[in-house]
Amino acid sequence: MPSIYQLKPAFQNLLRPGVERLYSRGVTANQVTLSAAVVSVLLGVLLAAFSHIAWLFALIPLWMLLRMALNAVDGMLAREFGQQSKLGAYLNELCDVIADSALYLPFALVAGVSPLLVIVVVLLAVISEYAGVLGPMVGASRRYDGPMGKSDRAFCFGVLGAGVATGLLTALWINSLLAVVLALLLYTLYNRVRHGLAETA
């Protein structure tokens, strides 16, 4: 299934000169990973505490763009500059799940938005990533199948954040879009398990 994740190689090529400069200055992949997670959690706490201030949700799409770049940067530092480690593998997976949850959950506090929908979407996002990580356990690769992978979710919630901030999306529209995300997450979970099993057949 198509996914924004497929654009990653081209995105990495754009970032490569900056990554080389970071490496020359002693920045490590794990530092980038942890920094992105900490900022995400702090932003999530800010939005949860002030969910009634709509314009603050404009920070979501801005941070999502920067965070996607940082996620690419930490991977490039690890792979291309010999910084891969077992700790890094743990941090990469755990920090992504924690950061996503922190950034998505404040939408449950927006007036008129269904908290149940938001919570189920967050749970399915965690479960779909878990299914992807299980690939190597059954002899397959780490699965990144779409259509609602990490990058796709970041795009969707960036749009939702912009919609809340500008008032262009009503609660009914947000709930409808969340329902679509939920359905696509279920399909993503199915795809990751199916393709992982097919890879080991």
Hey, what are 175's tokens?
Answer: 């709930």
What is the CATH code of the structural domain delimited by 4-200?
A: 1.20.120.1760
pTM: 0.90
Overall average pLDDT of the 163-175 stretch = 97
Task: Pick the closest to residue 93 from 126, 136, 119 (CA basis).
Answer: 126
Q: Give the count of alpha carbons within 13 A of 20, CB side only.
A: 6
> How high is the pLDDT of residue 143?
94
82: left (phi over 0), alpha (psi -120 to 50) or beta: left
Cα torsion at 177, 72, 27, 30 (round to 10°)? 70
Distance CA 143, CA 173 (A): 31
- For the stretch 33-80, pLDDT in tens is 999 999 999 999 999 999 999 999 999 999 999 998 898 899 889 988
Per-residue pLDDT band for 12 (boundaries 50, 70, 90) equals confident
- For the stretch 113-159, pLDDT in tens is 999 999 999 999 999 999 999 999 999 999 999 899 998 999 999 99
